């Protein structure tokens, strides 16, 4: 796993956005795995602003959301689908038929998870996977203890994950379960780009970089990937 450190979170977001733009320029039908979360806000804003100047089209690209909560109200503004629509899809020219979000109806949920895996496979696999990292080392919503060869499935969310997201929720309780791409699913991507910024991520970044690959810190799985990069600002990298 390559490691890149920038002085500021602004520089990180600019670099990641430009990297994705370069990939779309090289392959107009790029399959992209989209993560959510506060780390991604500035990346997506930079992406949109740069695309406007580049006159770049995403109409032939396919987008796969990494995860989605289970049990939210219909059309909830707290869903990851809403987040991605607001920050990405409503601002770029993705075809709606090329946007894929994990289904969260509990009826036949295991089959729906398998279908999501099949959609990724039938598209030719994910070319460029964007990832954040949780304070406990989760990627997607693969919490500590997740198998490193896990696939898309329903997962229980740790209290630490729920607490860190509590401030983002309005008029709803933070869900206790979600659907997420598995670690094995993520590792199948041709290129993985994991991002961490801010002092709050310094401790987990230290564990990722200095520790062995292990299920207690799911993000360490990226160290096995032949084409992965961990992109940090100076604050997130302060303990390495």
- Residue 78 a catalytic site member: no
- Considering the candidates 14, 31, 46, 67, report the single residue annotated as catalytic: 67
- Residue 149 a catalytic site member: no
Token code pair at residue 120: 């990724």
**CA distance linking residue 126 with residue 188, whole number of Å:** 7
**CA distance linking residue 77 with residue 52, whole number of Å:** 26
- Considering the candidates 31, 78, 98, 136, report the single residue annotated as catalytic: 136
How far does the chain reach from its first CA to its final CA, in angstroms?
Answer: 15
- CA-closest candidate to residue 37, choices 78, 72, 7, 74: 78
- Residue 122 a catalytic site member: no
- CA-closest candidate to residue 195, choices 38, 70, 75, 66: 38
- Residue 143 a catalytic site member: yes
Show the beta-strand stretches assigned E in 28-152. Answer: 31-34, 62-65, 67-69, 99-100, 128-131
Question: Which DSSP state fits 223?
Answer: G
Token code pair at residue 197: 């910024």
- CA-closest candidate to residue 178, choices 81, 34, 67, 99: 67
- Considering the candidates 14, 68, 127, 143, report the single residue annotated as catalytic: 143
CA dihedral (174, 166, 184, 136) positive or negative? negative
**CA distance linking residue 172 with residue 71, whole number of Å:** 10
**CA distance linking residue 35 with residue 140, whole number of Å:** 7
- Considering the candidates 31, 78, 127, 138, report the single residue annotated as catalytic: 138
Cβ–Cβ < 8 Å for 102, 170: no
Residues assigned a catalytic role: 67, 136, 138, 143
């Amino acid at each position: 796993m390559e490691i890149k450190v920038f002085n500021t979170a602004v520089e990180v977001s600019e670099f990641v956005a430009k990297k994705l733009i370069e990939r779309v320029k090289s392959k107009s039908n790029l399959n992209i795995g989209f993560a959510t979360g506060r780390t991604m806000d500035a990346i997506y804003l930079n992406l949109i602003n740069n695309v406007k100047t580049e006159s770049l089209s995403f109409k032939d690209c396919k987008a796969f959301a990494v995860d989605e909560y289970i049990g939210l109200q219909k059309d909830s503004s707290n869903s990851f689908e809403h987040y991605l629509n607001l920050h990405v899809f409503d601002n770029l020219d993705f075809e709606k038929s090329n946007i894929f979000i994990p289904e969260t109806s509990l009826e036949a949920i295991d089959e729906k998870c398998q279908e999501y895996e099949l959609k990724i496979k039938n598209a030719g696999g994910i070319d460029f996977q964007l990832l954040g990292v949780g304070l406990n080392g989760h990627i997607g919503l693969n919490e500590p203890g997740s198998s490193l060869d896990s696939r898309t499935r329903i997962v229980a969310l740790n209290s630490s994950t729920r607490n860190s997201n509590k401030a983002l929720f309005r008029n709803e309780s933070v869900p206790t379960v979600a659907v997420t791409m598995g670690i094995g699913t993520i590792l199948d991507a041709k290129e993985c780009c994991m991002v961490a910024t801010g002092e709050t991520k310094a401790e987990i970044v230290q564990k990722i970089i200095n520790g062995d690959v292990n299920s207690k810190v799911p993000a360490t799985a990226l160290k096995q990937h032949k084409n992965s990069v961990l992109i940090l600002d100076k604050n997130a990298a302060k303990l390495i």
